Amino acid sequence: MRGKRAKKRTIAKDRKYNDEVIGRLINKVMQGGKKSLAENLVYSAIESGADKSKTPVIEFVHTAIDNIRPALEIKSRRVGGANYQVPVPVGPRRQETLAVRWIVDYARAKTGKSFDKLLEIEILNAFNGEGDAIKKKSDVERMAEANKAFAHFRW
């Protein structure tokens, strides 16, 4: 490995609920440094989603994120001139990062409604165990399972 490892930064909690996961979601939604706009969009999405699912907001967000967290992912390893897709376990922080990224990316990819409605739909789908982000999780885990034969290249 070249250079030094990056230091782990403390995750900024959000202002309203004082929760790290919601803070990360806001930071991922934010574009061009417009944090207050991102906060409004995320709060609108999670509050209306929590109302529809009849659960508290923080529990709603955490359940949705937990449903998307991948247990395994694949990393490319070069061994003896060949590239192998090696399955590796995912750490809890990276699991959360991937889950938040997939939710926001799939919400951004859709069109036709305002972003807060699209984000709400994506989080609701994740909460219910369906939707694009859940499909992405299962694809990643299935790919890792298929390449289990190369697990001995992990170091």
Pick the closest to residue 67 from 128, 142, 117, 24 (CA basis).
Answer: 128
pLDDT of res. 26: 96
Note whether residue 3 is domain-resident. Answer: no
112 within 8 A of 43, measured Cβ to Cβ: no
Cβ 87 vs Cβ 74: under 8 Å = yes
pLDDT for residue 1: 63
Domain that holds residue 50: 20-153
pTM (predicted TM-score): 0.90
* pLDDT surpasses 60 at 75: yes
Quick check: is 78 in a domain? yes
Residue owning tokens 């409604």: 113
Is position 101 within any domain?
yes
Q: At residue 19, does pLDDT exceed 80? A: yes
pLDDT 10s digits, 20-74: 999 999 999 999 999 999 999 999 999 999 999 999 999 999 999 999 999 998 8
**Residue 114: inside a domain:** yes
CB 26 within 8 A of CB 39: yes
Whether the Cβ atoms of residue 27 and residue 14 lie closer than 8 Å to each other: no
Q: Which token pair is 92? A: 């809890």
Does 9 map to a domain? no
- Interacting residues of 106 by C-beta distance below 8 A, sequence separation 6+: 122, 131, 132, 133, 136
- Give the chain's length: 155
What is the pLDDT, as a whole number, of residue 32? 95
CATH number for the domain that contains residue 46: 1.10.455.10
Indicate whether 91 belongs to any domain.
yes
Is position 13 within any domain? no
Number of domains in the chain: 1
Task: Indicate whether 148 belongs to any domain.
Answer: yes
Q: Chain-wide mean pLDDT for the chain?
A: 91
What single DSSP character describes residue 39? H
Residue labelled with tokens 């403390």: 10
pLDDT tens for each residue of 107-120: 999 999 999 999 99
pLDDT-based confidence at 76, cuts 50/70/90? confident
